[in-house]
Structure 1
């Protein structure tokens, strides 16, 4: 499996290198390979079809215009995802589809960007929680219903031993971290 991963990375690296040299077929292959991933990322913003298409096209345009700047071709998926994420934020900020009245009181653009990222991440987190095994999903929701949950109360409500809450919680958060990493959502992604 490791060899396949290395082979795929080499393939992406050579495609990026060839595209940087002006190879149109290499560029088309990159577009073909990464468009499904970008569509998936853009879909999380729940944009209309036309807006989603505009973001996708803008992402590829910006990628083409800045392709020579890519120094590490193996990071191409993350770079493209970041461009799409920022374009989605620009669009939603402009159309104010996900803005709340609270955003107007935040002040600086950086504060608004952070709040939009927080709102987006909260929606993404809900999607990820749905992917958890049932026991972890139920526990996660029980732990997040109140601001300061007590294991004894949660255990009683779920009919579980108190000693099982901590380890199940740890497995739940480890699984969520893995799901975030699988989607290349890191602190750098949100900056």
Structure 2
């Protein structure tokens, strides 16, 4: 009964307490973090990898890395953003490793059944155009654009993630956005 109350209290504790205990090697606390953040990390990774079968592997790798590097977490209350940075890096690494063989057309997802054939054709053409436009961007611009537009990263987080100055991240993102706006004009 006491163990159950402890687990229940741990499930509802704030991140600072749970992460602090996990940093001290408490496996039960780490399991709470896994349960708490796996859905968000999976959703983010799914968007980064275009619903690839690698999503669960990337999230699992991120948690393994987190467990091994808990000593690097400076503020336990920021465990959520720390975990998201780790999973983002793992997803970017996976994208880089797949770059020569990844074909965006292979990730074509069927349109919902309630749409008309014209809407399906239009949606697929728009997705194909977006994929083509993204492939035309230089790697650094594409990474900045994906992290900002799909991952919701701030300029500081993008700079930290890619190991570049914030001013460089802003410039790369501005050029990527300008290109995408011009390139996708007919799809507005």
TM-score (norm 1): 0.53
Change (3 A) 1:40 1:48: closer
- Deviation beyond 4 Å, 4+ runs, structure 1: none
Q: Distance in 2 between matches of 1:121 and 1:71?
A: 24
Give the corresponding residue for 1:135: none
Change (3 A) 1:62 1:118: same
Residues 6-155 of structure 1 mapped to structure 2, 5 A cutoff: 11-96=14-99, 97=102, 100=135, 102-103=137-138, 112-122=139-149, 124=150
Equivalent pairs, count: 117
Q: What is the aligned-residue RMSD (CA, Å)?
A: 2.6
Distance apart, 1:43 and its partner CA: 1.6
TM-score (norm 2): 0.54
The question of whether the paired residues in 2 share the 8 Å contact of 1:18 and 1:26 is answered with: yes
Distance apart, 1:38 and its partner CA: 0.6
Give the corresponding residue for 2:156: 188
Q: Any unmatched runs of 5+ in structure 1?
A: 1-7, 104-111, 126-179
Q: Any unmatched runs of 5+ in structure 2?
A: 1-10, 105-133, 160-188
